[in-house]
Structure 1
Amino acid sequence: MQTNEVKGILNATGANIYFHSKGTGENLLLLHAGIADSRMWDKEFHLLSEKYRVVRLDLPGYGSSDFTGVNYSYSNIINELLTHLDINHTHILAASFGGKIAIDFYLENPEKCLSLALLSPALSGWEDSSYLQEYEEGEEKLLQEGKIEETAQFNYETWILRNRDPELINSDVKQLVIDMQIKSLTKPEPDHPCEEIETEDNILQIKDIRVPVLIINGKYDVQDFHDISELMSKELPSVKRITIPDAAHLANLESPELFFKMISEFFFDNSKNS
């Protein structure tokens, strides 16, 4: 069967970006979470490519993508990748920090987005709870002490384990999350300092999202992300919100079959060919 599979490195403005494209049909872009890389979408990437042209990438500083010491914009990097792959319109599946990037990208490029499926999305302009602020301070302290493996474990416990019995979490999920963390945390600093070209506080603009939106959270997700999803479900004109039981921040890793069923139905319902 023809898969039209392509892997490569795009020399984008501010970063060398690893990307992987597979399949034919309507385009579907995958954006990973901030505690992960494109490997978090392994199952979804291959299954969705049976019906769509799916593109996943490692954001700069994650996986096989690196900063190049020039100021960068996530939206510009996505635009450069889409142009490189001759993509004019795409559905987007994004998680957590990747969800924030997807929302920002839509608000800057609404004509390019067909629909948004967002797993535990972050949101530009959201004021973090005291819990998240303490988490960030704890992570920073560990990093300053050079404790890479401890930082990865801390992030796993904060975002995935969530005070549950460790036996409830598949060991493969833990290993993948730890591996993705360590790969990012051990990347060398770029030769020249670079900064993100920040977007607006798009929390004020989300009501302008006009495409269909699916929002998914795990029941045990960090409360901030339930609150963000609740806010978005009230503000957006076309939105469906679902909570997956027995899962936390990255529900696709803990409940892959249920998660895939939900996103498959969503993208099918919003496909031009459905």
Structure 2
Amino acid sequence: MDLYFEITGNGHPVVLIHSGGTDLRLWTFLAPLLSKKYKVIAFDGRGAGKSPSPLKDTNYVEDVLTLMDYLELKQATIIGHSMGGQIATDFALNYPERVSKLVLLAPSLTGFPYSKEFEEYHIKISDAAPNIDKMLELALDSPNYQVVIDSPQKALNVQMLRHHFGRMLKWPADFSIKWPQPSAKERLEELNPETLFILGNKDLADNYRVSNCFRKVSNIHFIEIQDADHMLPLTHSEDLYQEITAFMED
């Protein structure tokens, strides 16, 4: 196992999958709360934090399976944020027997057609490379960060983004993510684990469109967090803790 991970607490295992542009520090405030009741496993995805850079073709879903096998976890509650939620969804679709419950925090979705505005936003950031300061300026100019940018957690958010851009510039030029096929969007109605879907009421319109895809699945409980943008694990950890523990103990 070459991925960096940290384990805190005891009890039922909970695996935390961070979003793109962050690392396990995303869970700085939520993990200590969850570890009061559960065994919490937070890890840096390949190419993030203290984990090694990705290979040409990287399979983040298989990385979760490898981590769970290494830790001898037959089953765990999986919690994923944004791209981490995308990974968690694909993992639950392909390895449902390994997921006791699924918690998706503003997830992205494999196979989802994102808007032109969303795609142009990411292209502008990429085109600014290797100027990390400019990349940061462009990245933070988004509704994704409208709440966190005015919060005490702004510095941590910026630190993670800066670190991510620095790491990303060293990735293989032909790097690509290998996702399971068919796409999760095409298979959502096969999603078996009981699922909690949480979204901030100030998140992007695209993420609300993603949530509409998940509403076709019968065993999903939806919650909207007030005054939260995309980075709700940083700004609304107490709210998330209350909702997640109530869901897990139900």
Q: TM-score, normalised by structure 1?
A: 0.84
Q: Alpha carbons of 1:176 and 1:88: their partners in 2 closer, same or farther (altered >3 Å)?
A: same
- Give the gaps of 5 or more residues in structure 2: none
| Residue 192 of structure 1, CA deviation | 8.8
Question: Structure 1 residue 181 and structure 2 residue 165: aligned?
Answer: no
Is the CA contact (8 Å cut-off) linking 2:30 and 2:240 kept in structure 1? no
Q: Which has the larger radius of gyration?
A: 1
Partners of 2:19 and 2:64 in 1: how far apart?
Answer: 15
Partners of 1:203 and 1:33 in 2: how far apart?
Answer: 19
**Residue number in structure 2 paired with 1:249:** 230
Equivalent position amino acid for 1:138 in 2: K
Q: Alpha carbons of 1:130 and 1:77: their partners in 2 closer, same or farther (altered >3 Å)?
A: same
Tell me, what secondary structure is at the counterpart of 1:25? coil
Equivalent position amino acid for 1:140 in 2: S
Partners of 1:222 and 1:67 in 2: how far apart?
Answer: 29
Deviations 1:251-270 (A, max 9, x none): 2222222222111211222x
**Residue number in structure 1 paired with 2:188:** 206
**Residue number in structure 2 paired with 1:6:** none
RMSD: 1.9
Question: Of the candidates 109, 117, 130, which is equivalent to residue 103 of structure 2?
Answer: 117
Give the count of matched residue pairs. Answer: 248
**Residue number in structure 2 paired with 1:272:** none
| Residue 44 of structure 1, CA deviation | 1.5
Question: Structure 1 residue 97 and structure 2 residue 83: aligned?
Answer: yes
Q: Alpha carbons of 1:148 and 1:108: their partners in 2 closer, same or farther (altered >3 Å)?
A: same
Equivalent position amino acid for 1:149 in 2: D
Question: Structure 1 residue 139 and structure 2 residue 119: aligned?
Answer: no
Question: Structure 1 residue 161 and structure 2 residue 145: aligned?
Answer: yes
Structure 1 window deviating more from structure 2 (64-73 vs 175-184): it is 64-73
**Residue number in structure 2 paired with 1:79:** 65
Q: TM-score, normalised by structure 2?
A: 0.92
Is the CA contact (8 Å cut-off) linking 1:35 and 1:155 kept in structure 2? no
Question: Of the candidates 42, 47, 64, which is equivalent to residue 56 of structure 1?
Answer: 42
Question: Of the candidates 74, 93, 99, which is equivalent to residue 107 of structure 1?
Answer: 93
Is the CA contact (8 Å cut-off) linking 1:156 and 1:174 kept in structure 2? no
Question: Of the candidates 135, 147, 152, which is equivalent to residue 136 of structure 2?
Answer: 152
Deviations 1:187-219 (A, max 9, x none): 262579554323221101011111111111111
Is the CA contact (8 Å cut-off) linking 2:4 and 2:44 kept in structure 1? yes
Is the CA contact (8 Å cut-off) linking 1:153 and 1:178 kept in structure 2? no
